């Protein structure tokens, strides 16, 4: 393994040539308009962490679902996004898969299974609950034609991702 | 007999001059190394080391040595790893700090003009020491809008003597292709051009698509030889003076 990344209860051991980022955006402040609207109390925004892993240079401002990075995916590249949802989603029908997949099959990918359709690319989306935390695992490969090879590489990374249970609110 | 004596004297004289020059150069080098070990900030630019070589650069070890992947935190507290080894591209590591005066001009350009043009195959990564040795507040001020990875580990891995310092990593080989300090981004671009043997980084003109491959290879080779000799694009010695213009009619 080339490097280890750990933050917000997510740990990833990445193979050589892969890099990653684990982010949690700062809550945005209520707008002046919202404050002027007279709402007695505006609840603070709660943000959740998300992680990106890729065998390419990750652009600085990559969106949770890979916007800003997928445009740069080459035929030999893959991007893995792991996005946490709010805790009330845990164990619900959509998130009823109770493990982070350690192995995807080429059959899990679809050329239309993308947040943003880019010709040649393919995507896979899995909703799951791991360690009591609900996540979406979204994987984009740069070339549908090279799906077998790219899926094998992605699986190597997935095997190195670990999620800790939530310890604080 | 007299001739032999004269020749002997001349040879002795040459040997004395040579020995003096060598001693003086060594003393100068020693002073420079001492200066580096005393001062954390490099105020005087060192010579940029060129091609991968086993010859020590005098600072930070030798070009050609193994590089390392990077691991640290961004200014916003994101955990970040960056692969420099086993990737297709070259990575230019810019080791800066919030306190060093020379770094100020690098930060200013990054803030106001964005990353400098260093070629399509080279990625710039800006690094500072971790929060244990840097002021995050000051960094937020100088590095506003710049992606920075804070990692003291990288300083140790690459044996960085002070700031500003730049290391060029060749991704496919996973080795350091060049390193040195600089006073401005233009000098850094020289380092990249030297390390890659690609003068188009300095001129902005990529001629490779316009020419047969043998021409492009020859041009790259000539560029590399000239840059190794310290002659970069725009150097006056590349252009004949008016009086030197050859007369086609002989």
From A50's Cα to the closest Cα of chain B, the distance in A is 10
Per-residue pLDDT of chain A (169 residues; tens, 9 = 90+): 578 999 999 999 999 999 999 999 877 766 666 666 666 666 777 889 999 999 999 998 899 999 999 999 999 999 999 999 999 999 899 999 889 999 999 999 999 999 999 999 999 999 999 999 999 999 999 999 999 999 999 999 999 999 999 765 4
Q: Is A27 on the interface with B (CB under 8 A)?
A: no
- Residues of chain B found within 8 Å of residue A20, distances taken between Cβ atoms: 79-81
| Nearest-by-Cβ selection for B71 from A3, A24, A57 | A3
Instruction: Tell me the average pLDDT across B53-74.
Output: 68
Prediction ipTM score: 0.84
* Residue pLDDT, tens place only, B76-97: 899 999 999 999 999 999 999 9
Are the Cβ atoms of A22 and B85 closer than 8 angstroms? no
B contact set with A (CB within 8 A): 69-71, 74, 76-83, 85-87, 89, 123, 147
Between strands B79-82 and A19-24, the pairing is antiparallel
Closest CA to B59 of B160, B190, B171: B160
Instruction: Tell me the average pLDDT across B21-47.
Output: 53
Residue B127 burial (10 A CB sphere; 0-12, 13-18, 19+): buried
Closest CA to A27 of A39, A16, A12, A43: A43
- B106 pLDDT higher than 80: yes
User: What secondary structure letter does DSSP report for B89?
Assistant: S
The model's confidence at residue B43, banded by pLDDT at 50, 70 and 90, is very low
Give dist(CA B24, CA B28) in Å, integer: 6
* Residue pLDDT, tens place only, B121-161: 899 999 999 999 999 899 999 998 898 999 999 999 999 99
Collapsing DSSP to helix, strand or coil, B153 comes out as helix
Are the Cβ atoms of A24 and B78 closer than 8 angstroms? yes
Closest CA to A146 of A73, A52, A81: A73
- B73 pLDDT higher than 50: yes
Domains of chain B: 46-196 (3.40.30.10), 199-235 (no CATH)
Six token digits for residue B121: 């195959």
Residues in Cβ contact with B64 at an 8 Å cutoff, skipping those fewer than 6 apart = B52, B53, B54, B175, B176
* Residue pLDDT, tens place only, A111-120: 999 999 999 9
Give dist(CA B218, CA B184) in Å, integer: 30
- Residues of chain A found within 8 Å of residue B82, distances taken between Cβ atoms: 19, 57
Q: Are A147 and A111 in contact (CB under 8 A)?
A: no
Q: What is the pLDDT of residue A25?
A: 85
Q: What is the pLDDT of residue B200?
A: 73
| Nearest-by-Cβ selection for B81 from A5, A26, A60 | A5
Q: What is the pLDDT of residue B39?
A: 46
Q: In the beta sheet, which residues pair with residue A13?
A: A4
From B85's Cα to the closest Cα of chain A, the distance in A is 6
- B249 pLDDT higher than 80: no
Residues in Cβ contact with B73 at an 8 Å cutoff, skipping those fewer than 6 apart = B79, B80, B130, B131, B149, B150, B151
CB atoms within 10 A of CB B60: 23
Collapsing DSSP to helix, strand or coil, B124 comes out as strand
CB atoms within 10 A of CB A85: 18
Q: What is the pLDDT of residue B208?
A: 54
């Amino acid at each position: 393994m080339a490097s280890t990344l750990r933050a917000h209860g997510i740990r990833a051991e990445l193979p050589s040539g892969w890099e990653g980022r684990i982010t949690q955006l700062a809550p945005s402040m209520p707008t002046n308009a919202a404050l002027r609207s007279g709402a007695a109390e505006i609840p603070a925004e709660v943000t959740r962490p998300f992680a990106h892993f890729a065998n390419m240079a990750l652009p600085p401002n990559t969106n949770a679902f890979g916007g800003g990075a997928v445009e740069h995916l080459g035929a030999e590249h893959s991007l893995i996004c792991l996005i946490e949802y709010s805790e009330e989603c845990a164990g619900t029908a959509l998130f009823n898969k109770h493990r982070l997949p350690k192995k995807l099959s080429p059959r899990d990918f679809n050329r239309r299974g993308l947040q943003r359709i880019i010709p040649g690319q393919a995507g896979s989306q899995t909703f799951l609950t791991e360690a009591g935390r609900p996540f979406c695992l979204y994987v984009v490969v740069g070339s549908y034609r090279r799906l077998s090879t790219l899926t094998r590489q992605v699986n190597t990374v997935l095997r190195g991702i670990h999620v800790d249970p939530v310890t604080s609110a | 007999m007299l001739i032999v004596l004269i020749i002997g004297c001349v040879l002795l004289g040459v040997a004395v001059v040579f020995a003096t020059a060598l001693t003086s150069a060594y003393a100068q080098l020693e002073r420079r190394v001492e200066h580096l070990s005393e001062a954390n900030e490099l105020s005087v630019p060192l010579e940029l080391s060129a091609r991968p070589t086993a010859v020590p650069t005098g600072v930070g070890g030798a070009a050609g040595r193994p590089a390392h992947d990077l691991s640290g935190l961004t200014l916003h507290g994101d955990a970040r790893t960056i692969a420099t080894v086993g990737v297709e591209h070259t990575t230019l590591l810019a080791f800066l700090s919030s306190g060093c005066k020379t770094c100020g001009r690098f930060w200013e350009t990054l803030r106001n003009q964005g990353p400098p043009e260093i070629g399509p195959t080279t990625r710039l990564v800006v690094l500072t020491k971790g929060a244990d040795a840097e002021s995050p507040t000051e960094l937020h001020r100088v590095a506003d809008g710049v992606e920075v990875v804070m990692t003291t580990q990288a300083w140790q891995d690459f044996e960085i003597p002070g700031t500003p310092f730049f290391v060029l990593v060749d991704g496919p080989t996973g080795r350091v292709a060049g390193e040195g300090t600089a006073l401005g981004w233009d000098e850094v671009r020289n380092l990249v051009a030297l390390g890659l043997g690609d003068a188009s980084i300095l001129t902005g003109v990529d001629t490779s698509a316009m020419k047969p491959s043998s021409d492009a290879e020859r041009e790259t080779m000539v560029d590399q030889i000239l840059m190794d000799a310290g002659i970069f694009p725009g150097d006056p010695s590349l252009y004949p003076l008016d009086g030197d213009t050859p007369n086609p009619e002989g």
